[in-house]
């Protein structure tokens, strides 16, 4: 796989000292329990309006019905350590992890402020997932998968045999699926009791891809062993597809019969839900960005060749935008088909549904976190330790 990305992530996970504190001495007070809408864990439709897990829903569409984001001066919250995971949202709350080992709950209304922070091990790079009862789930470098209450208290944890870089997917039965660098895919119930685990890799091969799920709760995940796997909801192997090299991109399900994922050799695949190749595209650089889907049914992903690509579901290139920088972060989209993407160098781009630049900003350090469009704002985690907010 791409050695630069692996070295950076592993250095951040295993070498960076833990940091304490956040944001310019900002203080926080305990908050009442959150009220979560029951729709947040309902059977997924093609485009869910919530973003309560990685890329919004089990499908990984990256869409939450946000109006287009207008550029404003970026406000921020300082977490005190690099932010590698992407944000998840419930109501006006943002949930995001930091490399100092904290899970943050941030109120994004008006001036963003920390509601609470909760220690989840030593370092964390995953995107949290929220269930319909107000609980937050996230894995950590310390090998534990954590359950945190809506008031910011650890109420359970489950020990795997390796660090966790995979973000969790909550299925329609409320079971939670994620992978560990021990080479296993795990399924836990909401009380963190093991339902099953499936061995994909030996321990010398990591799983950095995050699982997606379809309407039947079939699971799709990539692996460093060069395969894309599908498991049924009981953890049995349905099929595997050889991509030819490591797959760190997390799959997208298009709501019908398409599974999309990229590979570090530059290949981008569209498969059927039965694992048959429908079409393939080869970029000039590694594809580690996870694909997303716009309201116009365009499949959008970035590459380390510096381009953001948009294909229709039949495999026709509709547009590409050259961002002049390597792209690792996944994109997101708004309710007019606009796309938000970021380069490793820290530039964040707003691109129209036709592939034309609307605006760009460089708020801080490198960006590996998905710039997420939500309720008219774009929320951006940065390697400089800050979570930035632009929009009205």
- Give the distance between the most distant pair of CA atoms in the chain: 54
User: What are the beta bridge partners of residue 333?
Assistant: 63, 339
Structure-token pair, residue 329: 């972060």
Would you state the pLDDT for residue 15? 40
Would you state the pLDDT for residue 204? 63
Q: Hey, where are the domains in the chain?
A: 3-27+50-391
Rounded Cα gap, residues 71 and 94, in angstroms: 19
pTM above 0.95, yes or no: no
Q: What is the 3-state secondary structure (H, E, C) of the chain?
A: CCHHHHHHHHHHHHCCCCCCCCCCCCCCCCCCCCCCCHHHHCCCCCCCCCECCCCCCCCCCCECCCCCCCCCCCEEEECCCCCCCCCEEECCEEEEECCCCEEEEEECCCCCEEEEEEECCCCCCCCCEECCCCCEEEECCCCEEEEECCCCCEEEEEECCCCCCCCCEECCCCCEEEECCCCEEEEECCCCCEEEEEECCCCCCCCCCCCEECCCCCEEEECCCCEEEEECCCCCEEEEEECCCCCCCCCEECCCCCEEEECCCCEEEEECCCCCEEEEEECCCCCCCCCEECCCCCEEEECCCCEEEEECCCCCEEEEEECCCCCCCCCEECCCCCEEEECCCCCEEEECCCCCEEEEECCCCCCCCCCEEECCEEEEECCCCEEEEEEC
Rounded Cα gap, residues 86 and 97, in angstroms: 8
Rounded Cα gap, residues 264 and 6, in angstroms: 11
Angstrom distances, CA of residue 334 to CA of 47, 60, 70, 373: 11, 14, 11, 6
Burial class (CB in 10 A: 0-12, 13-18, 19+), 7: exposed
Would you state the pLDDT for residue 190? 96
Percent of all residues in the chain with a pLDDT value above 90, rounded to a whole number = 77
Tell me the fold of 3-27+50-391.
Methylamine Dehydrogenase; Chain H (2.130.10)
Q: With contact defined as beta carbons under 8 Å apart, do 286 and 264 qualify?
A: yes
Band of residue 40 on the pLDDT scale cut at 50, 70, 90: very low
Q: Which whole number is the average pLDDT over 217-231?
A: 95
Q: Closest Cα partner for 331 from 22, 147, 63?
A: 63
Rounded Cα gap, residues 88 and 175, in angstroms: 18
Rounded Cα gap, residues 128 and 97, in angstroms: 7
Instruction: Look at phi and psi of residue 297 and say left if phi exceeds 0, alpha if psi is from -120 to 50, else beta.
Output: left
Question: 239-271 pLDDT, tens per residue?
Answer: 999 999 999 999 999 999 999 999 999 999 999
Would you state the pLDDT for residue 124? 92
Q: With contact defined as beta carbons under 8 Å apart, do 60 and 86 qualify?
A: no
Band of residue 392 on the pLDDT scale cut at 50, 70, 90: confident
Given a cut of 80, is residue 377 above it in pLDDT?
yes
Structure-token pair, residue 83: 């932010």
Rounded Cα gap, residues 156 and 4, in angstroms: 35
Structure-token pair, residue 25: 């001495």
**Sheet containing 357-361: which strands, arranged edge to edge?**
332-333, 339-342, 348-351, 357-361
Question: 135-191 pLDDT, tens per residue?
Answer: 999 999 999 999 999 999 999 999 999 999 999 999 999 999 999 999 999 999 999
């Amino acid at each position: 796989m791409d050695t630069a990305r692996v070295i950076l992530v592993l250095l951040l996970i295993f070498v960076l000292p833990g940091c304490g504190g956040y944001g310019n001495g900002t203080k926080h007070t305990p908050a009442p329990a959150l009220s979560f809408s029951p729709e947040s864990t309902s059977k997924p439709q093609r485009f869910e309006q919530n973003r309560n897990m990685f890329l919004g829903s089990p499908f990984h569409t990256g869409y939450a019905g946000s109006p287009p984001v207008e550029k404003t001066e970026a406000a921020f919250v300082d977490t005190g350590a690099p932010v590698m995971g992407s944000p998840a949202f419930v109501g006006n709350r943002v949930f995001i992890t930091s490399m100092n080992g904290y899970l943050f709950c941030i109120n994004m209304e008006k001036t963003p402020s920390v509601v609470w922070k909760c220690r989840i091990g030593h370092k964390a790079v995953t995107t949290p997932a929220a269930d319909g009862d107000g609980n937050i789930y996230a894995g950590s470098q310390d090998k534990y998968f954590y359950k945190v209450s809506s008031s910011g208290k650890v109420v359970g944890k489950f020990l795997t045999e390796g660090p966790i870089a995979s973000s969790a997917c909550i299925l329609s039965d409320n079971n939670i699926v994620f992978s560990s660098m021990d080479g296993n895919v795990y399924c836990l119930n909401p009380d963190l009791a093991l339902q099953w685990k499936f061995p994909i890799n030996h321990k010398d091969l990591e799983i950095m891809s995050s699982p997606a799920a379809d309407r039947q709760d079939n699971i799709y995940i990539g692996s460093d062993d060069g395969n894309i796997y599908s498991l049924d909801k009981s953890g049995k192997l349905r099929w595997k597809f050889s991509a030819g090299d490591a797959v760190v991109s997390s799959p997208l399900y298009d709501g019908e019969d398409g599974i999309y994922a990229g590979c570090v050799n530059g290949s981008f695949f569209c498969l059927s839900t039965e694992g048959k190749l429908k079409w393939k595209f080869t970029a000039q650089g590694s594809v580690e960005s996870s694909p997303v889907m716009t309201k116009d049914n365009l499949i959008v992903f970035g590459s380390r060749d510096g381009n953001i690509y948009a294909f229709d579901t039949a495999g026709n290139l509709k547009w590409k935008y050259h961002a002049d920088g390597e792209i690792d972060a996944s994109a997101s989209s708004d309710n007019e088909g606009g796309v938000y993407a970021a380069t490793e160098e820290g530039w964040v781009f707003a691109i129209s549904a036709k592939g034309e630049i609307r605006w760009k900003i460089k708020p801080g350090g490198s960006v590996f976190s998905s710039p997420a469009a939500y309720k008219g704002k774009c929320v951006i985690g940065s390697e400089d330790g800050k979570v930035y907010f632009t929009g009205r």
